[in-house]
């Protein structure tokens, strides 16, 4: 896994210069396998885990900076694009003259760019719009430290473990939040598409990329044009990512999005060898093997099937000592994770691909705002009747209900706040904690920047923000690639209206038709998803003795973040089975408690 640390300081100040030198020496002693990627006045970058093709460092001419990750160059005709290139002197000049914007506009991929002005007065940190590579920052006695993994900074003694309790409370209320804050008061996150300018006179931030501006650039409303462009963009991005690896493992769920990724991986242009995996539960609702087999057979690839049994899983074994900047999803299925790691090592797999992000981009959510978007753009044209009928079929709402939304949100432009429906009642939080939460604890700047857009397009932007959470789960044995969460696909979907992405009463209709004949017809027609909630509920029930002690005697209860009475009342088999909304608040409380104990140097499993 590619990891980096950058030290940034005012080289004109002797004390800062001396401190930076001592920090570099400290890194050399504590992390001896790390190598220097860039060393110039006021900026020093070290990294480890660089791999040709997939995780590289692109050094700019004349010490103008470095780009860490994987870049692809945009091309007028991507079918004839070579994925290999260098950032030569001309490109370095363009990047420098644009303060880094040239990267956003002419390249894509997963990267963090660290760019230095020629006079050394500014260092700019730019994170790509997908947020695929972590980018965190702290300040140590006047030296700015930018890094990917917080445990490396812990090893260097650069991070204070003062808990940001407001962030912990916000996480428990809305676990999918993506904000500048982290679980530690001393650590901040550089957001996707954001450029942080660290200068001798202070630090400023600017979004070089935002969904609202991409949407405003153009609208692709014609269905045939949109279908062709979307199919081409998906194929191009999947092929580009596949070109980085020799051996790929695809998580093939049996759903539409992973089947689309497999269809793209099956093209002759893809040189990587592909194998697939599918996990299934004992209950029929979580068994999608029939669909996965159809996709694997059509593409002529090997499919490995693994059963998931809740009885095999012990939650006290899911914790490890890795420190993270904020609570994040931990693997709830340690046995399956061990099987996957063994498979990866046995087959020399370099990357695990998925179809994650398709629901977020291609319009999977059934909402009457789809028809409202048409009215927002075109008013009450006769064609809106067909859009209303399609939306009614998709949402299973009566025509009059859809029409009410059309008038309220589409004609009268009632503003849509995507957080309203996403913020669920706080089942376990204490009343004081819940009352202290503020909208700013949850909101992302992209949403506020898009207030002028059609209402369902704002929902899609919230979904794009949410998709960045798929990269929160860490995998130490292989690269994680979600090829659908790629800048060209994201930008195109932002420019395709929701009523063009879905029609005929079908979710993700445009991508279904774009790949018709390339994926099994059973999957093209499929409108249901596998459901595993009952299996995971059994996982909680089987671990109740551990959970009761872990949570009720934990830090969240001790600090009155969780309400002890409500938490204890819900830690029963009858409540877990009877309340379908309980699983996620409960499991995220577990993640937060484990995270806290890790930072407080208490080993979670030792208390079980």
pLDDT at 328: 82
C-alpha to C-alpha distance for 349 and 478, rounded to whole angstroms: 7
Residue 318 has pLDDT above 70, yes or no: no
Domains of the chain: residue spans and CATH: 3-209 (3.60.20.10), 214-361+466-525 (3.40.50.620), 367-456 (no CATH), 533-607 (no CATH)
Residue 15: count of CB within 10 angstroms of its CB: 11
Q: Could you tell me the pTM of the whole model?
A: 0.94
Residue 58 has pLDDT above 60, yes or no: yes
Residue 604 has pLDDT above 50, yes or no: no
Residue 310 has pLDDT above 70, yes or no: no
Residue 81 has pLDDT above 70, yes or no: no
- For the stretch 84-140, pLDDT in tens is 677 889 999 999 999 999 999 999 999 999 999 988 889 999 999 999 999 999 999
Secondary structure of 205-236 in the HEC alphabet? EEECCCHHHHHHHCCCCCHHHHHHHHHHHHHH
When mean pLDDT is compared across 95-109, 194-208, 475-489, 520-534, the lowest value belongs to 520-534
C-alpha to C-alpha distance for 451 and 486, rounded to whole angstroms: 24
Highest mean pLDDT among 52-56, 305-309, 418-422, 461-465: 461-465
pLDDT at 606: 32
Q: Looking at residues 537-556, what average pLDDT do you find?
A: 89
Residues paired with 48 in a beta bridge:
3
Query: What is the pLDDT confidence band of residue 372, given thresholds at 50, 70 and 90?
Result: very high
In angstroms, the Cα distances linking 524 to 257, 259, 602 are: 10, 9, 49
Query: What is the pLDDT confidence band of residue 605, given thresholds at 50, 70 and 90?
Result: very low
Q: What is the mean pLDDT of the chain?
A: 91
pLDDT at 581: 81
pLDDT at 16: 95
Query: What is the pLDDT confidence band of residue 603, given thresholds at 50, 70 and 90?
Result: very low
Pairing mode, strands 3-8 and 43-48: antiparallel
- 295 against 270, higher pLDDT: 295
pLDDT at 189: 97
- For the stretch 490-502, pLDDT in tens is 999 999 999 999 9
pLDDT at 504: 95
- 86 against 312, higher pLDDT: 86
Residue 385 has pLDDT above 50, yes or no: yes
Q: Looking at residues 273-287, what average pLDDT do you find?
A: 84
C-alpha to C-alpha distance for 484 and 498, rounded to whole angstroms: 17
C-alpha to C-alpha distance for 313 and 550, rounded to whole angstroms: 16
């Amino acid at each position: 896994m590619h990891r980096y640390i950058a030290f940034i300081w005012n080289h004109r100040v002797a004390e800062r210069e001396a401190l930076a030198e001592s920090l570099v020496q400290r890194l050399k002693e504590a992390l001896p396998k790390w190598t220097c990627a860039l060393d110039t006045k006021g900026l020093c970058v070290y990294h480890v885990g660089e791999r040709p093709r997939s995780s590289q460092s692109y050094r700019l001419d004349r010490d103008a900076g470095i780009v860490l990750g994987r870049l692809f160059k945009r091309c007028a005709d991507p079918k004839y694009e070579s994925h290999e290139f260098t950032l030569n002197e001309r490109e370095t000049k363009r990047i420098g003259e644009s303060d880094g914007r040239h990267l956003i506009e002419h390249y894509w991929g997963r990267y963090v760019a660290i760019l230095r002005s020629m006079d050394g007065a500014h260092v700019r940190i730019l994170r790509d719009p997908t947020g695929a590579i972590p980018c965190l920052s702290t300040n140590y006695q006047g030296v700015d430290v930018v890094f990917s993994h917080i445990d490396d900074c812990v090893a260097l003694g650069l991070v204070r473990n003062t808990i940001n309790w407001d962030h912990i409370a916000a996480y428990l209320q809305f676990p999918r939040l993506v904000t500048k804050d982290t679980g530690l008061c001393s650590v901040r996150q550089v957001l996707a598409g954001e450029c942080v300018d660290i200068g001798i006179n202070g630090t400023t931030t600017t979004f070089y990329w935002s969904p609202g501006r991409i949407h405003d650039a153009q609208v692709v409303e014609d269905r045939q044009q949109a279908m062709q462009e979307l199919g081409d963009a998906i194929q191009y991005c999947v092929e580009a990512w596949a070109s980085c690896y020799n051996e790929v493992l695809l998580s093939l769920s049996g759903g539409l999005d992973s089947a689309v990724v497999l269809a793209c991986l099956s093209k002759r242009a893809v040189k990587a060898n592909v194998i697939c995996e599918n996990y299934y539960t004992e209950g029929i609702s979580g068994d999608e093997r029939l669909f996965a087999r159809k996709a694997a057979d059509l593409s002529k690839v090997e499919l490995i099937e693994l059963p998931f049994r809740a009885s095999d899983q012990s939650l006290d074994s899911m914790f490890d000592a890795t420190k993270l900047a904020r609570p994040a999803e931990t693997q709830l299925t340690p046995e399956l994770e061990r099987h996957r790691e063994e498979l990866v090592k046995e087959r020399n797999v370099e990357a695990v691909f998925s179809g994650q992000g398709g629901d977020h981009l291609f319009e999977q959510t059934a909402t009457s705002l789809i028809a409202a978007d048409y009215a927002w753009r075109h008013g009450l044209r006769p064609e809106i009747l067909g859009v209303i009928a399609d939306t009614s079929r998709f949402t299973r709402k009566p025509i009059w209900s859809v029409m009410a939304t059309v008038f309220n949100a589409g004609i009268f432009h009632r503003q849509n706040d995507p957080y309203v429906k996403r913020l669920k009642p706080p089942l376990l939080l204490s009343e004081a904690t819940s009352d202290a939460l503020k909208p700013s604890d949850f909101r992302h700047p992209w949403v506020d920047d898009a207030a002028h857009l059609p209402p369902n397009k704002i929902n899609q932007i919230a979904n794009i923000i949410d998709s960045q959470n798929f990269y929160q789960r860490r995998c130490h044995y292989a690269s994680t690639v979600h090829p659908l969460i790629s800048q060209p696909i994201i930008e195109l979907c932002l420019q395709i209206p929701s009523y063009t992405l879905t029609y005929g009463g079908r979710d993700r209709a445009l991508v279904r038709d774009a790949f018709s004949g390339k994926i099994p017809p059973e999957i093209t027609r499929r409108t249901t998803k596998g459901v595993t909630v009952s299996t995971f509920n059994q996982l909680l029930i089987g671990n109740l003795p551990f959970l009761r002690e872990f949570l009720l005697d934990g830090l969240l209860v001790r600090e009155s973040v969780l309400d002890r009475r409500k938490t204890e009342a819900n830690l029963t088999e009858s409540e877990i089975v009877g309340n379908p909304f309980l699983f996620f608040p409960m499991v995220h409380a577990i993640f937060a408690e484990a995270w806290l104990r890790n930072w407080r140097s208490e080993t979670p499993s030792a208390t079980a």
